[in-house]
Structure 1
Amino acid sequence: MRFVNIGISIVFLVLCFQNVKAQKIGYIDSKFVLSKMPEYKEAQQEIEALSTAWQNEIQGMRKEIESMYSELKAEEVLLTKELKDERLAEIEKKELEVKEYQKKVFGFDGLFFLKKKELIKPVQDKVFEAAEIVAKKERLQIVFDKSGELIMIYTDPIHDYTDLVLEELGLIDDNDLNKN
């Protein structure tokens, strides 16, 4: 009787382990992959050229302001208070314009950021698409990107429990399930 119980236990364990499927996880180094792509290098060069041009333009505007200050200082003794105040206001207006332009170009969601996104995103998308193809061929459930922050760039959708969590929290209707 004791051998029968052990036999049943072994059969039960074997059946359990057959149902448990080990998840395969992998990673890539997207920075390394990107560095090998000619189109990424071209995009980087174009971004550098634009950045340098915008920086030179802003630097030129600042030099103009410095020149205005120097001119004002040289003529200061000859100017009335009203003329001096008028010139100072003009210089301050120019400074504000330069700051606004710099923010427009290099600020959050500025022209530089948008151009970089426009040029780099398609190349990154190619890398991520290739990673997904490799993940499917190699039957990987999760692929991480080890460059920079450790982020998942591909997951097998059968392991996505987002809808169930939303449902559990009462934030989704049964009708909304599986629409993603």
Structure 2
Amino acid sequence: MKKIFLTLLSVTTLSTATTFAQGLKIGFVQSEYVLGLLPEAKAARQDVAAFERKLNNKLTAMRQGLELQAAQLQQEAANLSDTVRAVREQELQELQQDILSEQETAQQQMQFKVMQAMSPLRQKVQQTIDSVAQLNGYTHIFPASVNGQAMLVYTQNPEESNVTPLIIEALGLSEPTETSGQ
């Protein structure tokens, strides 16, 4: 009886595993690559770069103002009373703190700007991935890499598993042609 139960359990397990494996279709996508091909991504990157230049210009002006005031204080230090010199040194320290605070704020603003600019594009790519997956019967699509680190360890048929060309085609994009010598 125990032998029959174990045989029946083995057959059921193998049958379930085979059915499950037959229903699985896994693919991978290079979504950051696809994102970079979108014409809107170039405009978004330019917008972010212009915003970054604006923030950097403001910080540079603040640093230059600090350096100028510090140089003036150094020149005039011998002629100033201890009280006046201490007040001016305190002002310089406060200005330096303002600059540090502004740097932190600028970093946060940059992160928000990048998210704001790229979020609709990422949504567009994700919606296309979802659509291509449904149309082609994929049950799972994974990123090929995350933060530049390869995520794909092994795939038996990389040409069949790579849905990146399908995504590019669905978005109406074309891959750049490689030129010799690059």
Q: CA RMSD in A?
A: 2.1
Structure 1 residue aligned with 2:47: 46
Partner of 1:33, secondary structure, is: helix
Distance in 1 (CA, whole Å) between partners of 2:56 and 2:20 is: 58
Counterpart-to-counterpart distance in 1, 2:130 and 2:101: 42
* Superposed displacement of residue 147, structure 1: 3.2
Report which of the two structures shows the higher radius of gyration computed on alpha carbons.
1
Deviation string 1:39-71 (CA, Å, 9 cap, x unpaired) is 111111100111111011101100100000100
Distance 2:41 2:105 in 1: 25
**5+ unaligned residues in a row in structure 1: which ranges?**
1-8, 152-180
Structure 1 runs, 4 residues or longer, greater than 3 Å off: 17-21
Q: Confirm whether residue 16 of structure 1 aligns to residue 4 of structure 2.
A: no
Secondary structure in 1 matching 2:145: coil
Gaps of at least 5 residues in structure 2 are: 1-7, 153-182
Equivalent residue, structure 1, for 2:162: none
Q: Give me the TM-score of the superposition, normalised by structure 2.
A: 0.69
Aligned length, in residue pairs: 137
The residue matched to 2:113 in structure 1 has which SS?
A: helix
Q: Distance in 1 between matches of 2:20 and 2:37?
A: 39
Output aligned runs, 1:29-108, within 5 Å.
29-106=30-107
Question: Which letter does structure 2 place at the counterpart of 1:16?
Answer: S
The equivalent of 1:112 in structure 2 is: 110
Which deviates more from structure 2 when the two are superposed, residues 19-28 or residues 64-73? 19-28
Q: Deviations over 1:113-141 (max 9, x none)?
A: 11111110010010011001111111111
Deviation (angstroms), 1:21 = 4.1
Q: Which residue of 2 is the match for residue 166 of structure 1?
A: none
Q: TM-score, normalized by length of structure 1?
A: 0.70
Cα displacement string for residues 120-172 of structure 1 (whole angstroms, at most 9, x for unaligned residues) = 00100100110011111111111011133539xxxxxxxxxxxxxxxxxxxxx
Change in CA separation of 1:78 and 1:133 when aligned onto 2, cut-off 3 Å = same
Q: Which has the bigger relative contact order, CA under 8 A and spacing at least 6?
A: 2
